[in-house]
Structure formats: C-alpha cells, structure tokens
C-alpha cells in the first residue's frame, strides 16, 4: 500500500496524480488544493479512468486525509509566467510553503517530502528550515528535469537511445545550473570522445558537440515550452513519478535532486542539486563526483546565486 498526497491540483499536481495512476505506482492518492472544487474535479476525472488501471483510490481531501502518507508532493503555488524568472516568484511561493507547513506536518510527520513548486531550491530550503522534518526526508525535484532535457538533447544529437546517455545537470534548477562534462559519457565513452568513436565505427560525420549550445538549450527548455503552451507539466511530472517510483521500490538510485548541503564541496546552508542516492528512507548519500576546478567553481557560483535569493526572501 503506497499512499501519496499531492498539494496543489493545478497542471503539475494533477498530471503527477494522473501519471502515478496510469503507471500503477500508488494505491492511494490524496489531492489537496486551496481551490477545493479544482481538486475534486481533477480527482474525479482521474478516478473515472481507474477501471482500466491498477486499482488506486484517488480523491480530493483535507490535510487530515494526508495521515499516513508515504510521500507528500508539493506543487502548490503560482506558476511561472512567460518572461518571468523562477526567482521572481520566490517570496509569494515561500509564503505559501510557510502557510501549509504546519498543516501538513501535523498529519504526515513521517512522510518523505518532495518539492516541485518553484523556485524549487528555495522552497526546499524553506521547508528544511521551518518544518522540523529531518533533512534526509526532504528533497526537491531540482535539476532532475534539466538532466532529462540534457539527456534528451544528447540522445537526439547522437541519435542514440536516451538510456545510453549518462550526463547530469547540477546546481540550481535555474539560470546558474551547469553540466559537469568531465563525468558525462555515452555508453561509458567520455562525451568528448564519443563523436570520434562514432566516426570510427560507421563513418558517420557529425560536427563535434558544442557544450555551450547544449547547455543553453537545456537552460532555455522550460522557457521555450512556456512561451508556446503557457506552462510545463508533462516532463516534470514524469520526472517526479520516477523519483517516487525509486523511493517506493526501495532500490537505492542515483539522481540529481535538490537537498540541503552540509559541507559537500565546501558548500553549506543552501539547497541545490548534486548527484544524490535516493532510497526508501529518502536521501541516502550525496556522491562526491571528481569535478574539475572550473566545474567546482560553477557549483560554488550556483550556490552563491541561491544564497543571494535566500538573503532577500523572508523565510
Ligand atoms: N521544479 C520544476 O521542475 C517545475 C516546477 N513547476 C512549478 O510547479 C508549480 C505549479 O505549477 P502549475 O501546476 O503549472 O501551476 P497551477 O497554477 O496550474 O497550479 C497551482 C495550484 O496550486 C494551488 N494553490 C495555490 N496556493 C495554494 C495553497 N496555499 N494551498 C494549496 N494549493 C494552493 C492553486 O489553487 C493551483 O491549483 C509552480 O510553482 C511551477 O513553477 C512547474 C514545472 C516544472
Ligand atoms: C517551469 C520550470 O521550472 C521548468 O519547466 O523548468
């Protein structure tokens, strides 16, 4: 029996509920929203498709209904508008997190908390500071979405299955994110050697990968989707369901998610994404990747950008 509570039944929250249901990941899903009618409508719409899925009870509820949840996913807040940065949203969404924290922790003190609302690193940090929940049970989806976008791009570039692409985005889920290319590989071939390896095997000629262009594509992906359809919710929901699936499976899995740093790479008191082992009880370990000097500097820069925001918002 896996019980998941989702706070916020907007595009992201309801798509996560739908995806969890279709993938048969949860047996009970509670949907909470300040707009109760919206939560009821979304839950009903999903529930009416359940006869064709693995049995799952999906319903709109109150905080009390979150009792005994294994995982609580937070998607409530104001979505980023075209042209708006994630960080513009910071104070409004910090206030929402502070208002819901006592309500949800009262009923689900033992849950793992998974943040999606933006700015996700700042909200994850806020919850670490004000909830009393152990840091090992608090994570933000962080750069898992950016990592998925990077892998998608590399897979398109090399025309190879995404499963063969092992590359990560670290730091802020935002403008200061970066790719540690020194640890990126395609089927265990370092990213900078893969193009040569392809030429050797089948004579295909493709230009060498332009790292800056790929990172630019990755960082602009969210904005490009929002410009076209007003919001992003499918890729993030699939990414969040991957995290949930890994937690519930009990098999430790490495992924890029946002957690509180306590001295890793010399950085403390900020939440950002590192390659992190996530398991049944939440955060198991943060991997100490052998970053180059410039990659380490990029990570420190990202932490400083986030700390600037933390200084400006009232937590
Ligand atoms: N971390 C990531 O990779 C991504 C994060 N997001 C973020 O997810 C969040 C949600 O996005 P959407 O679902 O598109 O927005 P949305 O506007 O469709 O839904 C937000 C929902 O939160 C609810 N809400 C607001 N205040 C609340 C409160 N105090 N208690 C309970 N519910 C409350 C609203 O009624 C609304 O239904 C945004 O902050 C967005 O920026 C979106 C995509 C990717
Ligand atoms: C909205 C957002 O954070 C994204 O799509 O990356």
Query: 277 by DSSP, 3-state: which?
Result: strand
Torsion angle, alpha carbons of 7, 11, 16, 18, to 10: 120
The ipTM, to two decimals, is: 0.99
35 lines ligand 1 (CB under 6 A): yes
173 is catalytic: yes
Q: Tens digit of pLDDT for each residue in 187-200? A: 999 998 898 888 76
- Residue 161: pLDDT band by 50, 70, 90 thresholds? very high
**Ligand 2, pocket residues at CB < 6 Å:** 80, 86, 118, 145, 222, 232
Nearest in space to 72 (alpha carbons), one of 32, 128, 121: 32
Which parts of the chain fold into alpha helices (H)? 11-22, 36-47, 90-107, 120-130, 144-158, 191-202, 211-229, 234-249, 293-312
Find the catalytic residue in 173, 242, 280, 301. Answer: 173
Domains and CATH numbers, the chain: 3-140 (3.40.50.720), 144-312 (3.90.110.10)
Residue 269 near residue 128 (C-beta atoms within 8 A): no
Q: How far is CA 59 from the centre of its chain?
A: 24
Q: Tens digit of pLDDT for each residue in 263-302? A: 999 999 999 999 999 999 999 999 999 999 999 999 999 9
């Amino acid at each position: 029996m896996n019980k998941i509570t989702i706070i916020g039944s907007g595009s992201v929250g309801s798509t996560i509920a739908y995806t969890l249901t279709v993938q048969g990941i949860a047996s009970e899903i509670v949907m909470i929203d300040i707009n109760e009618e919206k939560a009821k409508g979304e839950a009903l719409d999903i529930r009416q498709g359940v006869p064709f899925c693995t049995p799952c009870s999906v319903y709109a509820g109150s905080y009390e209904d979150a009792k005994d949840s294994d995982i609580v996913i937070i998607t409530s807040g104001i979505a980023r508008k075209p042209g708006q940065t994630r960080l513009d949203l910071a104070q409004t969404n910090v206030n929402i997190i502070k208002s819901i924290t006592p309500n949800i922790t009262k009923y689900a003190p033992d849950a793992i908390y998974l943040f999606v609302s933006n700015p996700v690193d700042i909200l994850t940090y806020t919850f670490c500071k004000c909830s009393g929940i152990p840091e090992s049970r608090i994570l933000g989806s962080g750069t898992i979405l950016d990592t998925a976008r990077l892998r998608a791009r590399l897979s398109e570039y090399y025309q190879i299955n995404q499963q063969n692409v092992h590359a990560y985005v670290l730091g802020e889920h935002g403008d200061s994110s970066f790719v540690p290319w020194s640890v990126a590989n395609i089927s265990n071939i370092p990213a900078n050697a893969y193009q040569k390896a392809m030429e050797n095997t089948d004579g295909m000629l493709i230009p060498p990968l332009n790292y800056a262009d790929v990172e630019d594509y990755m960082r602009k992906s969210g904005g490009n989707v929002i410009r076209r359809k007003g919001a992003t919710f499918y890729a993030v929901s699939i990414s969040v369901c991957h995290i949930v699936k890994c937690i519930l499976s009990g098999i430790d899995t490495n992924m890029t998610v946002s957690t509180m740093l306590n001295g890793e790479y010399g950085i403390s008191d900020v939440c950002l994404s590192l390659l992190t082992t996530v398991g049944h009880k939440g955060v198991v370990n943060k991997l100490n990747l052998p970053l180059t000097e410039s990659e380490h500097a990029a990570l420190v820069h990202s932490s400083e950008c986030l700390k600037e925001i933390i200084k400006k918002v009232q937590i």
